[in-house]
A and B are shown apart, each in its own frame.
Chain A
Amino acid sequence: MRYAIERLEDFIAGIVTAAIGGFIVIEASGYGAGSLNDMGPGFFPVMIGSFMMILALVMVVTARPSAAPQPVDKNQMRGILCLTAAFIAFAFTVEAFGMLLSVFLAVFLSALGNRKTPVLYAALLAVGTAVIATLIFRVGLGLQIKAF
């Protein structure tokens, strides 16, 4: 057991690689492999997937002890969640509501990701960036994104 825990990182890496490689092989084997002189669409992906499974095996066999992977702390988690929200908010609003609102949301939400940033600052930064971005990209460069 100690053997496996010390080598956790290599084991996880191997298992993930094997899983992806296996998935590629299974998915691509339905495409038709053809033959060497007339390759089908499945030939190359199956080759890649198999290669990944071999690599995964090597990773597990040659696993060496290493420091345990670091867990994500609370602050980082907050950053990750807020940034994800910011990107999704931009994607949801840019076509329907235009650049001013989508940039505002992207900046505001991602600014909240750092607990050192006061909400008021975040809002001010978001308003400023939205206005400047609209001026640069919509007015200046003439991008086909409506302002609002």
Chain B
Amino acid sequence: MSDLLSNIALGFSVAASAQGLFYCFLGVFLGTVVGVLPGIGIMATMAMLMPITFHIDPTFGLIMLAGIYYGADFGGSTAAILMNLPGTATSAVTGIEGYPMAQKGRAGPALFMKAIASFVGTAFGVVLLAGFSVPLSRVALNFGPQEYVALMALGLVAASVIGTGRSIRSLASVSLGLAIGLIGLDLNSGIARFTFGQTVFYDGLPLVAVAIGLFGLPEIISNAGRPDLPKVQEGKIRMKDMAPTREDWRRSYMPMARGSAIGGFFGALPGTGGLVATFVSYAVERRVSKHPEEFGKGAIEGVAAPEAANNASVQSAFIPTLSLGIPGDPVMAIMLGVMMIHGILPGPDVIQSKPDLFWGLVVSFIIGNVMLLILNLPLIGMWVRLLKIPYNLLFPVIVAFTCIGIYSVHYQVWDIYVLLAFGFLGVGMKALNFEVAPLLLGFVLGPTIEIYFRRTLAVSGGDLGTFFNRPIATTIIVIVFAILAWAVGRAAWAGLAGRRARETQDA
């Protein structure tokens, strides 16, 4: 207990320092900006801010990047409620109930409840993070290669199967990502793989350029030429209209609690994340509600629960990232990338060896969310005005800043071409309904999982049974197969139902 207190004190000394506060504010402020504006993703913003992170202590760099992450979710749901234009994927769910509330003139209470729910979710997530990361990292210190292979397989399979896309295609995405991750010199044999004789390929592809290309560019590429850009109508929201009624409060307590729990669970599972958590929590509320007929027409439960879930998942996503070094989503992959650029090897000993980084980050989440409350409740009018910047003047600036950001990582022109190539890959995959998130996870984990897989079998003398001799590894492998079996069952069921529907149609 006194341990925890002294750790939190350490965290405060980092996060509440002048620099800590400044970068935290910068992060949540810019995060809200990009969240409110549709068409700039979190990833593009991270790319634009990359140059800053090289010049400051990695702890402050991570505090800033994390601020962008949860700030963008906050801003995204503001835009979703006011205009039904979700700035981020996860805030789309908030718009389902938030926008109808706004149309009925209840935008104020929706925004207010969203802010409270976000804060509750964050607080819950932070408690999970502070409580579970240290014990988990201690357990993880005893992990052999078997456990790491099993955990990474769990992350990759969960990312493909539990996500929103079709499982088979997501598994193909993961595989492609794994293969792309292998590009470069093989460390064991020194053989160059998939390099086609080009020396620029020898070090592998640059993570940041790949990630931004896949996630940031497709949005810009496919919207740049559209003449019918979304228009924004005048909104009048004043602070005094924002107070929710007693009825609103009464209906929101339980959804917030359930949302937090759902978000905390899915966030911590490597490979899933906010998007799944928000959808699941919305579906749960709809099912347990006493008045399901109000859903879709502005039920406040549908704002409170997904927001709590989303923010809880953002925080708990840091659990596997920081305690195991296994990123759960693309943003976490970028965070790990920044750590590696600063020479910090992600893994279970980071919490022990860099307690100021870990606890500083944890405390900054609380500070950042208080900042978000202030930024988003009294200053809401500012964001509404920001929405009026026309997109056709905005995206060229983003393109230029992204170029600078990517170039500044290694000062290699080559990285820009990688960025562009993966932008097109992202567009192509979207056109064929392939998810891009699994590809990136595969890309990040590819080299590591191969190394551990080789090591496992070298130690066991080629015996695959070694995965089933160790309790933790065996448990995880069983879970992996259970998820796969569930996916196959679900697909078979859907196929049968579809065929039956068609047969009745034809008859």
Contacts and interface: CB of A to CB of B under 8 A. Distances in A.
Interface of A: 9, 12-13, 16-17, 20-21, 24, 27-28, 31-32, 35-41, 43-45, 48-49, 51-52, 55-56, 58-59, 62, 64, 69-70, 75-80, 82-84, 86-88, 90-92, 94-95, 99, 102-103, 106-108, 110-111, 113-117, 121-122, 125-126, 129-130, 133, 137, 141-145
Of residues B175, B408, B419, which shows the largest number of chain A Cβ atoms within 10 Å of its Cβ?
A: B175
A139 to B, nearest CB: 13
Of residues B179, B222, B450, B491, which shows the largest number of chain A Cβ atoms within 10 Å of its Cβ?
A: B179
A82 B224 CA distance: 9
Contacts of B367: none
Of residues B51, B176, B193, B403, which shows the largest number of chain A Cβ atoms within 10 Å of its Cβ?
A: B403
Interface stretch (B28-36, B111-119, B335-343, B389-397): B389-397
Contact of A13 (B220, B229, B399, B434): B434
18 contacts: A9-B433, A20-B179, A24-B179, A31-B186, A39-B454, A48-B175, A56-B172, A62-B491, A79-B222, A83-B221, A87-B419, A87-B420, A90-B407, A90-B416, A107-B397, A107-B400, A117-B393, A133-B400
Contacts of A88: 417, 420
A91 B412 CA distance: 9
B410 to A, nearest CB: 11
B407 A36 contact: no
B227 interface: yes
Interface in B164-180: 168-169, 171-172, 175-176, 178-179
Interface stretch (B295-303, B368-376, B457-465): B457-465
B182 interface: yes
Chain B interface, >50% SS class: helix
Given A17-B172, A55-B168, A129 B396 contact: yes
Contact of B176 (A20, A84, A90, A130): A20
Contacts of B193: 28, 31, 41, 45
Contacts of B471: none
Nearest to B459: A37
A126 B396 contact: yes
Contacts of A87: 399, 403, 416-417, 419-420
A27 B399 contact: no
A144 B411 contact: yes
Nearest to A55: B172
Contacts of B201: none
Q: Return the 7 tightest CB-CB contacts between A and B, nearest first.
A: A79-B225, A37-B462, A79-B224, A36-B462, A41-B186, A111-B396, A91-B416
B504 interface: no
A59 B400 CA distance: 39
B432 interface: yes
Nearest to A70: B431
Nearest to B417: A91
B407 A117 contact: no
A5 B67 CA distance: 47
Given A24-B179, A37-B458, A88-B420, A110 B399 contact: yes
B498 interface: yes
B404 interface: yes
Given A44-B450, A94-B407, A80 B191 contact: no
A141 B182 CA distance: 34
Given A110-B395, A117-B392, A75 B188 contact: no
A116 B392 contact: yes
Contacts of B168: 55, 58-59, 62
Nearest to A134: B404
Nearest to B173: A17
Interface in B222-251: 222-227, 229
B498 A64 contact: yes
B225 A78 contact: yes
Contacts of B450: 44
Given A37-B458, A107-B399, A137-B408, A114 B226 contact: yes
B182 A32 contact: no
B176 A52 contact: yes
A58 to B, nearest CB: 6
A45 B407 CA distance: 30
Interface string B442-464: 00000000100110011011111
B401 interface: yes
Contact of B408 (A113, A129, A143): A143
Contacts of B194: 27-28, 45
B353 interface: no
B495 A111 contact: no
Interface in B22-41: none
